[in-house]
Amino acid sequence: QVQLVESGGGLVQAGASLRLSCEASGGTLTGIDAMGWFRQAPGKAREFVAALRWTDKNTLYSESAKGRTTISRDNAKNTVFLQINTLKPEDTAVYYCAATRPYRIIVRVEDLADADSYTYWGQGTQVTVSS
């Protein structure tokens, strides 16, 4: 059973950068093809931020994340990262990482943005951006 643990959130000022980490414990990322990051702000629905498909290194970003966000993966550390630059107050949310079940291949790139594609979820890390 893969357990995902996020870290790296915090309170920052607008314009700052953060690197969120998601470590897989109780297992490894071996065989897990797709990893994603989602976020949920108070009173709002969970929304997609970024995803990485390991088989072809294809990435997908939301429009709000594009250009200032980078998702990456370090298999040796069983960790996925989300680098967010130029943070804005509207980025304030709990950020969750997610993983597909082992050996499931996400064929359509657009399905990387679908929360139903993922089986494992972390508990989240809070990101608060002050203006």
pLDDT score, position 29: 83
pLDDT(2) > 80: yes
Q: How far apart are CA 54 and CA 59, in angstroms?
A: 9
46 pLDDT band, cuts 50/70/90, is very high
- Is the model's pLDDT at 13 over the cut of 90? yes
Report how far residue 81's alpha carbon sits from residue 75's, in angstroms, rounded to the nearest whole number: 11
39 has a pLDDT exceeding 90: yes
Whether pLDDT at 30 is above 90: no
- pLDDT at 26 (0 to 100): 72
29/60: higher pLDDT: 60
Q: b/e per residue, 86-120, with b = 16+ CB within 10 A? A: ebeeebbbbbbbbbbeeeeebeeeeebbeeebbeb
125-130 vs 10-13, strand pairing mode:
parallel
Q: What is the pLDDT of residues 52-110, one digit of tens each?
A: 998 899 999 999 999 999 999 998 889 999 999 999 999 999 999 999 998 899 999 99
Counting residues of the chain whose pLDDT is more than 70, the rounded percentage is 99
Do residues 65 and 50 touch, judged by C-beta distance below 8 A? yes
Q: For tokens 């709002």, name the residue.
A: 44
